Structure 1
Amino acid sequence: MANFIIDTIKKNVPQDVSLKIVDLAERKLPTSEQSEIPLTIQSPELYSNELATRWSREISSHDGYIFLVPEYNGSYAGSLKSAFDYLYNEWSGKAAMIVSYGARPVEMLNGGKHFSDILSQLQMKLPSVLLKISVSTMDREKTASGESLVFYEKAVEDQVRSDISNAWEGVLKGLQVSNVSPASA
């Protein structure tokens, strides 16, 4: 799914913006057990454990984010919430876009909305569009085999790509509004 999104927006990525996939599954972040309140921590070196320090440095190195949000039981995954609970200032005020996906029809997907509430608490700059993709519109066997996303209908794929491109434009505007050099998004 991440590669599909990158493929969709790559024509509209300014030269001074780089894209990097940060996969939480590779990070293996446990539930945060730090005693500090993340809002009060102003530097990666002030975290009480090395894992939080490394995570802080990774997130601090980016100016914006595209969040790929799987939906489970009507909301976003707990691992995503745990990854956010480690930090505060590293996320705060940055541009972001949410692409949520799940097995239900798109009108029933709520994980992206729930997650956007968290991002709003962090004053992140979000486009007005929350993207939702129902995996029921895809050929799951081909998609699971690594053939990127294979939609049953070309019109659905075209609409998803259009929605992603429009939301990406909102992220680029968020990068400009924050007066941050979009060196890494």
Structure 2
Amino acid sequence: MTKIAIILGSTRPGRNGEAVANWVYDIAKQRDDAEYELVDIADYKLPHLDEAAPPSLGQYTQPHTKAWAEKIASFDGYVFVTPEYNHSTSGALKNAIDFLYAEWNNKAAGFVSYGSVGGTRAVEHLRLVMGELQVADVRAQAALSLYTDFENFSVFKPAPHQSEAVGAVLDQVVAWSGALAPLRATSSDTAAQ
């Protein structure tokens, strides 16, 4: 069965992302089209990138990198839950993404973002990063406003239509993850030779 990670892309104390990621995961668990797992980057305690070799070489030496690589490699697609900080994603999420390369390749990604303008600028940045990592990003996006989907900018109360937006993201990520399976199989066969 297709495996999709819902990646919580903030490590900030008191982060709004935890409520958002749990909400996305609750929506996903009601579906039977894939196996979903919530992955919190905070659990991996990744320092600033501390591998000597570029990630594209796959020569990981640090135990935290190896654990992160194993987890990310186990999925067929991803839904990134990202805040928007200064017109971009969180530094913690960008750092976590930058630790790896091949583990991301030939998979699909969707985005659930939050911020003053729905986190849309963070997603635009992430779409560029995904392209470099050979990740197919889907069109659907759930963009949550701090003004209308949070009370006092901190208590998560999503508008009803946002559940439909998440459903569309999941639909596309699952479909594209399945469509890319032959590419992943070819890459695995080539790596084994």
Q: State the TM bucket, normalised to the shorter chain.
A: 0.7 to 0.9
Aligned counterpart in structure 1 of residue 97 of structure 2, from 79, 84, 87: 84
Aligned residue in 1 for 2:63:
50
TM-score, normalising length: structure 2? 0.77
TM-score, normalising length: structure 1? 0.80
Task: Provide the secondary structure at the position in 2 that maps to 1:34.
Answer: coil
Determine whether 1:11 maps to 2:21.
no
* AA partner of residue 24 (structure 2): I
Determine whether 1:131 maps to 2:133.
no
Match runs of 1:141-152 below 5 Å: 144=155, 149-151=156-158
Distance (whole Å) between structure 2 residues aligned to residue 109 and residue 142 of structure 1: 17
Determine whether 1:21 maps to 2:38.
yes
Aligned residue in 1 for 2:55:
38
RMSD: 2.0
Aligned residue in 1 for 2:117:
105
Aligned residue in 1 for 2:132:
121
Task: Provide the secondary structure at the position in 1 that maps to 2:37.
Answer: coil
Bigger strand share? 2
Aligned residue in 2 for 1:160:
162
Task: Between 65-74 and 171-180, report the one with greater CA deviation.
Answer: 171-180
Distance (whole Å) between structure 2 residues aligned to residue 109 and residue 63 of structure 1: 24
Structure 2 regions of 5+ residues with no counterpart? 1-19, 183-193
Percent of residue pairs bearing the same amino acid type? 28
Distance (whole Å) between structure 2 residues aligned to residue 132 and residue 63 of structure 1: 23
Per-residue CA deviation, residues 124-151 of structure 1 (Å, 9 max, x unaligned), is 122112331112113436964xxxx324
Determine whether 1:140 maps to 2:141.
no
Q: Offset at 1:53?
A: 1.0
Per-residue CA deviation, residues 42-64 of structure 1 (Å, 9 max, x unaligned), is xxxx4122111111111111111
Aligned residue in 2 for 1:154:
none
Task: Provide the secondary structure at the position in 2 that maps to 1:9.
Answer: helix
The answer as to whether partners of 2:147 and 2:153 remain within 8 angstroms in 1 is no
- Shift of the 27–136 alpha-carbon distance from structure 1 to 2, 3 Å rule, reads same
